[in-house]
Amino acid sequence: MATRRITTYKIQQMKRRGVSIPMVTAYDYTAARIIDAAGLPMILVGDSMGHVVLGYDSTIPVTVDDIVNASAAVVRGTTKPLIVADMPFLSYQIDAETALRNAARLIQEGGAQAVKLEGGKSVAPIIRRLTEAGLAVMGHIGLTPQHVNRLGGYRVQGKTETTANEVLEDALSLQEAGAFSVVLELIPAELAKKITKVLDIPTIGIGAGVHCDGQVQVFHDMLGLDPDFRPRHSGEYATLAPIIKDALVRYGQDVGAGTFPTDAQSFFSDESRVMPPIRNALEPDN
Ligand code: KIV
């Protein structure tokens, strides 16, 4: 039976009702299951996977195949959240028909409900083409990491009056083109507040202050999975890298000492020694 996922309509209704919208990235089945169990309404299969999963120094090498495969895994691991798949660099900028073909792959093969693409006014005609074809599109303005080479680094955008007005105009043009929501990345909090007030569609902030309609965080950043990288805009909800490292060190020591596996992790011809079933740790204790 088909699952009942949160819809773009529901996300827009959250803005109208003043309910904030927490979103997080995911790139694999296991993380997706945990996010599903945590009840977050929206997941981004972000091209940030280029950094945190594939080890590139930008999002530029990420391919449509990478996002299709990750989206399909995230969809398999979830029942409720709306899944938004990122359109990688040059998968939508060449022309609207190429954009439509690549977006269709993310929806049909990846199973996502919506796609996200970066850029302001200049990509509005592409968003228009996708939405007219029936796709749900999330915009992404402010710092657009796929433009890192032109921008000359990952810098806060819209700090002057002129550039702030440009970001605001970008936001309006995406709404006009039919985007259901827009990510505001690394812009001053006052500007994000203004855009959020002016737009009817929800704004989802990252490094854009508290007044956006929702927030998005990169899973690996907010959970402290990289001991050497914690950007200023990321929340500190856990510091998992040392915990995981400690577990792996202890595992190595146990194998070295011959104390792992014990009988509990072993199998015997005598069935009475079989271990009890594994409990689902995501379910509440009864
Ligand atoms: O790819 C990503 O994770 C993103 C977020 C930073 C918004 O685009």
Q: What is the pLDDT of residues 184-220, one digit of tens each?
A: 999 999 999 999 999 999 999 999 999 999 999 999 9
| pLDDT above 70 coverage of the chain, percent | 94
174, 182 Cβ separation under 8 angstroms:
yes
Ligand 1 in reach of 208 Cβ (< 6 A): no
pLDDT in tens, 113-153: 999 999 999 999 999 999 999 999 999 999 999 999 999 88
Q: Nearest Cα to 214, choosing from 83, 18, 7, 45?
A: 18
Mutation test of ligand 1: which of 53, 187, 206, 225 has the most ligand atoms closer than 8 Å to its C-beta? 206
pLDDT value at 1 more than 80:
no
Ligand 1 in reach of 66 Cβ (< 6 A): no
- The encoded tokens of residue 95 equal 């022309």
Question: What is the average per-residue pLDDT within 103-110?
Answer: 98
Residue with the smallest CA separation from ligand 1 atom 4 is: 46
Residue showing tokens 């090498």: 61
Minimum mean pLDDT among 93-107, 159-173, 177-191, 263-277: which range?
263-277
Residue showing tokens 């939508």: 92
Q: Nearest Cα to 189, choosing from 175, 203, 202?
A: 203
**DSSP string spanning 136-161?**
EEEEEEES-GGGHHHHTSS-----SH
CA–CA separation, 177 and 165 (whole Å)? 18
Residue with the smallest CA separation from ligand 1 atom 8 is: 46
Q: Catalytic positions, please? A: 185
DSSP 8-state symbol, 273:
G
Q: Of residues 275 and 97, which shows the higher confidence score?
A: 97
Ligand 1 in reach of 143 Cβ (< 6 A): no
Which pLDDT score, from 0 to 100, does residue 284 have?
Answer: 63
204, 213 Cβ separation under 8 angstroms:
yes
pLDDT value at 273 more than 90:
no
Ligand 1 in reach of 203 Cβ (< 6 A): no
State residue 101 phi and psi, 5-degree precision. -60, -45
CA–CA separation, 127 and 227 (whole Å)? 37
Which pLDDT score, from 0 to 100, does residue 251 have?
Answer: 98
Which pLDDT score, from 0 to 100, does residue 270 have?
Answer: 81
pLDDT in tens, 210-246: 999 999 999 999 999 998 988 999 999 999 999 999 9
CA of 272 to the centre of ligand 1 (A): 51
List, in order of start, the domains of the chain with CATH numbers: 8-222 (3.20.20.60)
Which pLDDT score, from 0 to 100, does residue 282 have?
Answer: 74
User: pLDDT-based confidence at 278, cuts 50/70/90?
Assistant: low
Evaluate the omega torsion of the peptide bond into residue 261 and state whether it is cis, within 30 degrees of 0: yes
User: pLDDT-based confidence at 252, cuts 50/70/90?
Assistant: very high
For the four alpha carbons of 6, 8, 14 and 20, in that order, the dihedral sign comes to: positive
b/e map of 138-149 (b: 16 or more CB within 10 Å)? bbbbbbbbbebe
Which pLDDT score, from 0 to 100, does residue 139 have?
Answer: 98
Ligand 1 in reach of 44 Cβ (< 6 A): yes
Report residue 152 CA to chain centroid gap.
24
List of residues 6+ apart from 163 with CB closer than 8 A: 157
Question: Ligand 1: which atom is nearest the Cα of residue 183?
Answer: 7
CA–CA separation, 109 and 156 (whole Å)? 35
Instruction: Identify which of 149-153, 157-161, 264-268 has the greatest average pLDDT.
Output: 157-161
CA–CA separation, 84 and 104 (whole Å)? 13
Average pLDDT of every residue of the chain: 95
Q: Give the count of alpha carbons within 13 A of 86, CB side only.
A: 29
pLDDT in tens, 48-92: 999 999 999 999 999 999 999 999 999 999 999 999 999 999 999
